[in-house]
Amino acid sequence: MLLSRIVVWKDKARATFIPMVCISCPGMPCARVCPTGAIVKDEKTGMPKVIESKCLGAECGKCVEACPYHAINFNPEVHAYPLICDLCGGDPQCVKVCWPGALRIVELTKSFSKERFLLATQSLTKLNEVLKKFQR
């Protein structure tokens, strides 16, 4: 779990689990705030990729704060740099091992791109409800 690139937020009281995964936002806010340029767009997948040798790790963490979807997993005690879904270089392992078939690879068309952001926004709304409960 601590090495996962998919962040699953849990509200055990309501038995709610909200997976948040990088959706490669336009403008990549995580990359924009990186002081060393350690986050770049992977040409093959279009997803953010962390260049480990450039990342400041625990000294920074700005990318985590900048991610509007809370989809960056970073625990400096476990891993030296933030973990962002990079689609495993184009061969996503989560899709291969998801036995119920809930995960799949689809071609990113213009219409699906809009749907992707709509679904991510719905998940974010649910997540924000859960997080507000814990901030009281």
CB 74 within 8 A of CB 64: yes
Q: What are 63-84's pLDDT values in tens digits?
A: 999 999 889 999 989 999 999 9
If one looks up domain 7-135 in CATH, what number appears?
3.30.70.20
Q: Are 38 and 51 in contact (CB under 8 A)?
A: yes
Q: What's the pTM? A: 0.77
The residue type of 71 is A
Question: Which regions of the chain does DSSP assign to beta strands (E)?
Answer: 7-11, 16-20, 39-41, 48-50
Of 92, 123, 122, 116, give the one whose Cα is nearest residue 9.
123
Segments making up each domain of the chain, as ranges: 7-135
Portion of the chain with pLDDT greater than 90, in percent: 32
Residue reference for tokens 């038995």: 15
Q: Could you read off the pLDDT tens digit of each residue along the chain, which spans 136 residues? A: 677 888 887 777 777 777 888 888 888 999 999 999 999 999 988 899 999 999 999 999 999 999 998 899 999 899 999 999 988 888 888 888 888 777 777 777 777 667 777 777 887 787 777 777 766 5
